[in-house]
């Protein structure tokens, strides 16, 4: 009783999802989602909340959500957000998840946000953020401010100059850059700076990022894409795979953040012929 198991879900193939049980060091292939090729080939977002994996995408002219349940080991259609969106930010805590910002069906950048309750399977509209946000942009202008939502007061607070402008490669257009790779462990915020290949911790009091150490040796990416940085209980997890579509290795590395320099431990790996397209972390 009271034991939390963590599963790592990721997709390296447009038509497949796999899960890794890092404790038992075993892999599992999820049931195939009963969706059309339009959904599989569209840009997708994913998040895990409680015992569910939610995958957001588009089928021809409508946005849909597919849900995988670890309790039944089955996939089904999930509840759609009130406002269709993609390229949004998300976070989950227990049975609750929040999606915020992103792009609407016509490409308009959103400031709206919604809260999902996995117990009821319903979405509730939250107050709008102060800024419209897509990845780390507002109307193609890079944003350096952050926002935090308070569940108790039901309000957003803007944090000026929270995140410096991304470099993402000198020749990389803004659309090629990955959004900030962030994770929260024990109420502390961490970021993977993929260009500098390092991990930093956010100092709330001083509004600055403090360098802690490097990323795993093989944590390469294409301007941050294909690299996953997630929290898993009291650990940070980095997942990296082939940067192009040919045979290579998916590697899972973990580190418990403390006062010491980063020391990554290889906790799993498997051969894969694909890029890491989507990833989510489930704790249940």
DSSP per-residue string spanning 126-151: EPPPSS--BTTEETTEEP--EEEEET
Residues 212, 191: one domain? yes
Average pLDDT over every residue of 187-195: 91
User: Would residue 18 count as lying in a domain?
Assistant: no
Query: In this structure, is the dihedral angle defined by the CA atoms of residues 246, 191, 131 and 150, taken in order, positive or negative?
Result: positive
Q: What is the pLDDT of residue 213?
A: 93
Q: What is the pLDDT of residue 107?
A: 87
SS3 content of the chain, % helix, strand, coil (to 5): 5, 50, 50
- pLDDT above 90: residue 159: yes
User: Which run of H or E residues covers position 242?
Assistant: none
Residue 126, strand partner residues: 113
Burial group, residue 122, by CB count within 10 angstroms (0-12, 13-18, 19+): exposed
- pLDDT above 70: residue 247: no
- pLDDT above 90: residue 110: yes
In contact, 116 and 99? CB cutoff 8 Å: yes
Average pLDDT over every residue of 51-74: 92
Residues 55, 129: one domain? yes
- Domain final residue pick, 133, 150, 172: 172
In contact, 183 and 236? CB cutoff 8 Å: yes
- pLDDT above 70: residue 135: yes
Q: How confident is the model at residue 173 (pLDDT cuts 50, 70, 90)?
A: low
- pLDDT above 60: residue 244: no
Q: What is the pLDDT of residue 78?
A: 95
In contact, 82 and 114? CB cutoff 8 Å: yes
Q: How confident is the model at residue 176 (pLDDT cuts 50, 70, 90)?
A: low
Lowest mean pLDDT among 60-64, 119-123, 197-201, 267-271: 267-271
- Domain final residue pick, 111, 144, 172: 172
Range of the domain at 212: 178-277
pTM across the whole model: 0.88
Phi, psi of 275, deg, nearest 5: -75, 150
- Domain final residue pick, 117, 147, 172: 172
Residues 165, 64: one domain? yes
Q: How confident is the model at residue 242 (pLDDT cuts 50, 70, 90)?
A: low
User: Would residue 3 count as lying in a domain?
Assistant: no
How many domains are contained in the chain?
Answer: 2
Lowest mean pLDDT among 16-30, 77-91, 162-176: 162-176
Q: Which of 71, 34, 74, 65 is nearest to 47 (CA)?
A: 65
User: Would residue 105 count as lying in a domain?
Assistant: yes
Measured between alpha carbons, how far is 256 from 263 in angstroms, rounded to an integer?
Answer: 8
């Amino acid at each position: 009783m009271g034991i939390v198991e963590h599963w790592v879900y990721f997709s390296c193939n447009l038509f497949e999802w796999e899960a890794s049980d890092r404790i038992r060091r075993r892999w599992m292939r999820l049931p195939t989602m009963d969706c059309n090729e339009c959904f599989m080939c569209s840009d997708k977002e994913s998040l895990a909340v409680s015992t569910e994996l939610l995958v957001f995408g588009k089928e021809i002219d409508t946005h849909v959500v597919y849900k995988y349940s670890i309790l039944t080991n089955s996939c089904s259609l999930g509840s759609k957000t009130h406002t269709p969106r993609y390229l949004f930010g998300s976070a989950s805590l227990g049975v609750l998840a929040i999606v915020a910002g992103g792009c609407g069906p016509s490409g308009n950048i959103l400031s709206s946000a919604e809260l999902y309750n996995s117990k009821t399977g319903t979405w509730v509209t939250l107050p709008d953020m102060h800024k419209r946000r897509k990845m780390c942009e507002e109307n193609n202008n890079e944003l350096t401010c952050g926002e935090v939502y308070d569940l108790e007061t039901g309000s957003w607070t803007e944090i000026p100059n929270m995140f410096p402008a991304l470099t993402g490669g000198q020749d990389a257009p803004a659309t090629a850059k990955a959004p900030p790779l962030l994770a929260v462990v024990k109420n502390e915020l961490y970021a993977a700076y993929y260009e500098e290949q390092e991990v930093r911790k956010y100092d709330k009091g001083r509004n600055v990022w403090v360098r802690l150490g490097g990323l795993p040796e093989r944590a390469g990416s294409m301007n941050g894409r294909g690299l996953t940085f997630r929290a898993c209980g009291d650990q940070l997890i980095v997942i990296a795979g082939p940067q192009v579509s040919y045979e290579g290795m998916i590697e899972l590395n973990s580190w418990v953040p403390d006062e010491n320099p980063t020391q990554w431990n290889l906790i799993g790996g498997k051969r894969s012929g694909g890029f890491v397209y989507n990833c989510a972390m489930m704790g249940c």
